[in-house]
Homo-oligomer: A and B are copies of this chain.
C-alpha cells in the first residue's frame, strides 16, 4: 500500500507510552486547524475543544477518569458538545433553542464529537504524535464540567491524550472481528455477527497470548465484563443537569 493516508489509518493504534517531550505549539495549532475543518451537522459547529496542558490539571483528569496513564500525556483535549454556541446563534436570530432537550440533540453532539476526535487523532498522527481516546471523561462528568468550567447546554463527550510516542513501547495493531461480520451488503446479517463474535473471541485470546499477556480475556469476557453493568452511572443525571432531556 503506498497511499500515505490509507497507510496511516490502517496502521492506527492507541499510544499510551510517551517520551515526556513537549508537543510543539505550532504543531498543536495545525492539528486544531485540521480538526476544525471536520464536518458538523447542519454546519452548527456544536463542538468546542478544551486543551489542557497544565500538568496538575492533567493529573486530576487522570484521577477523575480512573486511568492513571493519562498523566503521562503532554496534553489532554476534551471534545465538548457545545449547544451553548448554537444557543448564542438562536439568541442573535431572536428565537429560542430547543435542540438540547431532544434525544436527537444528544446524538448530534456525540456523533460530531466522534468525528472531531477521529480527525484530531489523524492530524496528530500525521505530525508524529500519539493519542488515545478517553471515554473515562464520562466517569465523573460533573467534576470534569467544574474543572473545565463548562456552561449549561454543553457536555464533555470524549477526550484524547496527546504526546510524543515512545516508539520502543508502541502497542501492536489489534485485530478486529472478521470483516464480513463488520461490513454487510444491503442488509444486516445477525448470523454473520454471531459467527464473527465466536471466532474473534479466540483470535483476540491468541493475540494476547502471543504477547505473553495470558491474563487478558478474550473478546467475550472483556466486553461482557464492562457491558453487563452500568459502569458510568453519572452520565444520565449529569446530562439532565446540563439541560439535555432525551425527550422526543
Chain A residues engaging chain B, CB cutoff 8 angstroms: 1, 3-6, 8-12, 14, 30, 32-39, 41-45, 47-54, 57, 80, 82-86, 88-90, 92-99, 101-104, 106-108, 110-119, 121-123, 125-127, 132-133, 135, 138, 148-151, 154, 157-158, 173-174, 176-177, 179, 181-188, 190, 193-194, 196-198, 200-201, 219-233, 235-236, 239, 246-248
For A173, the chain B residues whose CB sits under 8 A away are: 37
A104 contacts B232, C-beta separation under 8 Å: yes
Interface of A is mostly: helix
| Cross-interface CB contact of A248 among B182, B220, B235, cutoff 8 Å | B235
Known: A44-B223, A149-B187. A92 touches B39 (CB 8 A): no
B247 contacts A52, C-beta separation under 8 Å: no
Specify the chain B residue showing the minimal Cβ separation from A90.
B224
A131 to B223, CA, bound (A): 32
For A223, the chain B residues whose CB sits under 8 A away are: 42-44, 86, 89-90, 93
Known: A149-B188, A230-B98. A119 touches B9 (CB 8 A): yes
B110 contacts A111, C-beta separation under 8 Å: yes
Q: How many copies does the complex hold?
A: 2
A88 to B219, CA, bound (A): 10
| Cross-interface CB contact of A90 among B86, B179, B193, B227, cutoff 8 Å | B227
Specify the chain B residue showing the minimal Cβ separation from A44.
B223
- A62 shortest CB reach to chain B, Å: 16
For A94, the chain B residues whose CB sits under 8 A away are: 224
> Which interface residue of A88, A138, A173 has the most chain B CB atoms within 10 A?
A88
Known: A115-B133, A118-B114, A149-B187. A224 touches B51 (CB 8 A): no
Specify the chain B residue showing the minimal Cβ separation from A176.
B36
For A11, the chain B residues whose CB sits under 8 A away are: 37
Specify the chain B residue showing the minimal Cβ separation from A225.
B93
